[in-house]
Amino acid sequence: MLSILITDKDGTHRRQELSAEEAVIGRADDADVVLPRNSVSKKHARIVRKNGRYVIADLGSTNGTYVNGRKIHGPLQLTEGDKIYLGDFILTVEKVEGAPAAPSGRETVPHEPSVIFETRAPAGDIRAALRAVMARLDAMIPPSEREGAHAMAKAREAAERAVGELARAGAVNGTIDPSGLAELAARELVGLGALEGLVTDPRVRGIRVQGPGLVEVDFGLGYEPVNAAFSDAARLTQVLARLLRREAGWDAVEPLPKVVEAMLGDGSRLSALLPPLAPRGPYITLERPSPAPTKEAILERGLLDAEGFRILETLGKRGHSVALIGPEGSGVTELAAALAARAESEGGLVFAERIPRLTLLREDAIGLVEGPFGEPSLAAVAARAARLDPKRLFVDGVRGGELREVLEIFAGRRKGDLLGVRAAHEGRVGPPLKALASLSGASSSALDLLIVRAIRAAALCVATPEGPRVAAIRELRPGDDGIAEKVLWSP
């Protein structure tokens, strides 16, 4: 059963429980969930129960369907705390019963729902209202009372009072959700502000904060802006310091260094630039390890089919190294993780990564991670991993000129290793690999020889509106003009 709280723009609430296998949401009288406003299409969205999970999809509505501030372009699984935006309504998922446990086998971490506003309220309006609330909170709660077990409860109570006073004075834009504004203000005062729920949300792959006015989130299909913000650069800096203390174990540092590199407790990698290096305010990136998809999940999502997966798996088992090539959001890491989860550990299995995504999958494997500020670099970490002489080596997250060093490692091993490369391509393997490897300086013919010695085949991954996909698997061999490519699989 799925329980949802429906909130109209005028603040009225009602709850509805969905127990059927399918429920249509829309303006029409015969819809299962009726939302009677013109901003909602007659048949706007559908929620389907599939394998114990609840999935929402847009039905070609005029104004679109948004989940947690992000427009959906395909089916999306719902979890407790999600906010669904349809026209003038917000549907909050309160209870999801019967959903199966996470497939990773690891304990899931409870997370606070993130505070992302309905898109009718521009980020500029949110920031203006937030600044007004924060000014009142500064007068209501002194710094000495912003720590401790009861700090958040006290901040929430004060924020609700402050928002109510401002709303009565007409100082809050009517399109802004008052409860969301109060919650965001309380979190900014004593917590992590707009990042509070996002940093622990298992669906979030990455976060980018470009000053106080722009927060972008990657839910698996690339970065898109969400309608949440910080009041100003100073508050954002305070939140960053709090995040480093709570999640990375930093001591209180005043002021923070202008360049920050840290690893959080869950393996997330955080980087930040502070003014004057980032003139508009702190620029923060957070890359999170994601739960590994199984082979079955990869096939169900349509990243590739069973035959394509079998080809990649068979190549590795026969001692042929494989590259997975694609830009961010194209499924490179997901595919690497699914292959890593099924790789035999007998004889040794070692992962070398920028972010410990594969490392968290297997307790019977050795995981090594690139150091802060790139010291040691991923290439250096891969070299150390190769010295362990494992049966198989998986290296993921290779970028730029370090590719040549990693290719040399693979060429010297020839043991069915796997290489994840972040690079755009135009349907061929050789050009993007040569372009990156040449950054370290080498002749074209030498690079051709190195690539075909190191890599037997490559999967070319792409990001599409429907999700990540493998466009082709191509075999590499020496050719008259350098590298000859043969298609082994295509959708």
Mean pLDDT of 394-408: 90
Residue 312 predicted with pLDDT over 80: yes
Same-domain status, 271 and 194? yes
Asked, for residue 110, whether it belongs to a domain, the answer is no
Judge whether 392 and 339 are in contact, CB under 8 Å.
no
Mean pLDDT of 221-241: 88
Q: Which pLDDT score, from 0 to 100, does residue 389 have?
A: 92
Judge whether 339 and 418 are in contact, CB under 8 Å.
yes
Same-domain status, 307 and 448? yes
Of 257, 287, 317, which residue is a domain's last? 287
Tokens of 479: 């050719």
Of 287, 311, 342, which residue is a domain's last? 287
Cα separation, 244 vs 250, in Å, equals 6
Mean pLDDT of 311-319: 95
Q: How many Cβ atoms are within 10 Å of 103's Cβ, its own excluded?
A: 13
Q: Which pLDDT score, from 0 to 100, does residue 116 have?
A: 55
Which range is most confident: 38-52, 86-100, 189-203, 325-339? Answer: 325-339
Residue 203 predicted with pLDDT over 80: no
Same-domain status, 143 and 84? no
Q: Which pLDDT score, from 0 to 100, does residue 109 have?
A: 34
Query: What is the three-class DSSP state of 445?
Result: helix
Same-domain status, 339 and 281? no
Same-domain status, 32 and 153? no
Percent of the chain with pLDDT over 70: 90
Mean pLDDT of 104-129: 53
Asked, for residue 191, whether it belongs to a domain, the answer is yes
Q: Considering the entire predicted model, what is its pTM?
A: 0.57
Same-domain status, 128 and 203? yes
Residue 164 predicted with pLDDT over 70: yes
Q: pLDDT tens for residues 52-73? A: 778 898 888 888 888 887 778 7
The number of distinct structural domains making up the chain is 3
Asked, for residue 199, whether it belongs to a domain, the answer is yes
Mean pLDDT of 276-302: 85
Please enumerate in sequence order all residues whose Cβ is within 8 A of that of 38, keeping only pairs 6 or more positions apart, or say none.
27, 87
Asked, for residue 112, whether it belongs to a domain, the answer is no
Which range is most confident: 298-302, 351-355, 384-388, 480-484? Answer: 384-388
421 against 114, higher pLDDT: 421
- Nearest 5°: CA angle at 289, between 285 and 294? 145
Q: pLDDT tens for residues 367-378? A: 888 877 667 889
Instruction: Provide the CATH number for the domain around residue 188.
Output: 3.30.450.90
Cα separation, 284 vs 273, in Å, equals 7
φ/ψ (deg, to 5) at 81: 95, -15
List the 53-58 sheet strands across, edge first: 33-34, 22-26, 45-50, 53-58, 76-77
Same-domain status, 463 and 322? yes
Percent of the chain with pLDDT over 90: 42
Asked, for residue 109, whether it belongs to a domain, the answer is no
Mean pLDDT of 309-327: 95
Q: Which pLDDT score, from 0 to 100, does residue 114 have?
A: 58
Angle between helices 123-140 and 178-190 (to 10 degrees): 60
140 against 199, higher pLDDT: 140
What's the DSSP call for residue 28? S
Of 230, 262, 287, which residue is a domain's last? 287
Instruction: Provide the CATH number for the domain around residue 393.
Output: 3.40.50.300
Q: How many Cβ atoms are within 10 Å of 299's Cβ, its own excluded?
A: 16
Q: Which pLDDT score, from 0 to 100, does residue 238 have?
A: 94
Cα separation, 11 vs 7, in Å, equals 6
Q: pLDDT tens for residues 320-353? A: 999 999 998 898 988 998 998 888 877 789 999 8
418 against 107, higher pLDDT: 418
Same-domain status, 127 and 163? yes
Q: Which pLDDT score, from 0 to 100, does residue 2 have?
A: 86
Same-domain status, 200 and 323? no
Q: Tokens 């995504």 appear where?
A: 357
Q: pLDDT tens for residues 120-160? A: 455 567 788 899 999 999 999 998 888 887 899 999 999 99
The length of the chain in residues reads 491
Same-domain status, 314 and 366? yes
Residue 451 predicted with pLDDT over 50: yes
Asked, for residue 107, whether it belongs to a domain, the answer is no
Residue 108 predicted with pLDDT over 70: no
Same-domain status, 151 and 209? yes
Amino acid at site 61: S
Query: What is the three-class DSSP state of 268?
Result: coil
- Domain carrying residue 271: 123-287
Same-domain status, 300 and 402? yes
Tokens of 287: 């890359």
Cα separation, 388 vs 318, in Å, equals 20
Q: Which pLDDT score, from 0 to 100, does residue 7 have?
A: 87
Asked, for residue 338, whether it belongs to a domain, the answer is yes
Asked, for residue 105, whether it belongs to a domain, the answer is no
Judge whether 449 and 476 are in contact, CB under 8 Å.
no
Q: How far is CA 475 from CA 106, 292, 421, 456, 486, in A?
A: 36, 26, 16, 6, 5
Mean pLDDT of 244-256: 84
Cα separation, 409 vs 421, in Å, equals 15
Instruction: Provide the CATH number for the domain around residue 65.
Output: 2.60.200.20
